Every structure is written in C-alpha cells, then in structure tokens.
Amino acid sequence: MGMDRIIFGVLTVFVGLFGLFYAAGSQDSYSYFVGLALFIGAVLFMFHMIKGYYDQLEASDH
C-alpha cells in the first residue's frame, strides 16, 4: 500500500465527517443534502480505493 493511498484515505475520512457535521448543523434542506452528498461521495470513494487495492494484489499474484 502506497503512501498516496493512506493520504487520500485520511483526507476522505475528514471530508466524510465534515459532510456529516455539515448536514447535522444545516438550517435548510439544500445544506442538508449537500452534507449527505459529501458523506456518500466519501464512502463511495473509499470503497473504490479498497477495490483498487485488492485488484492490485490480485494482479500481482498472477
């Protein structure tokens, strides 16, 4: 696992948590959905990074 994946992972966790806190403190529905979209985007990006890691491991085994 490269250092770039660790850095992107940590930044993605911070963006996801920021999205949740932003949605929790929102006063209108637009801000609420923007916060949830940030969180969902961060979760999907993390799943993409995990998939890429295992694809890389599988390619190196063959």
Give residue for tokens 């940590």: 10
pLDDT at res. 62: 73
Rounded to whole angstroms, the Cα distance separating 48 from 38 reads: 15
Looking at per-residue pLDDT, the higher value among 60 and 1 belongs to 60
Domain ranges of the chain: 3-61
- Write out pLDDT tens, residues 15-52: 999 999 999 999 999 999 999 999 999 999 999 999 99
pLDDT at res. 61: 80
Query: Please, are residues 13 and 42 in contact by the beta-carbon 8 Å criterion?
Result: yes
pLDDT at res. 26: 92
φ, ψ dihedrals at 42, nearest 5°: -65, -40
pLDDT at res. 45: 96
pTM: 0.85
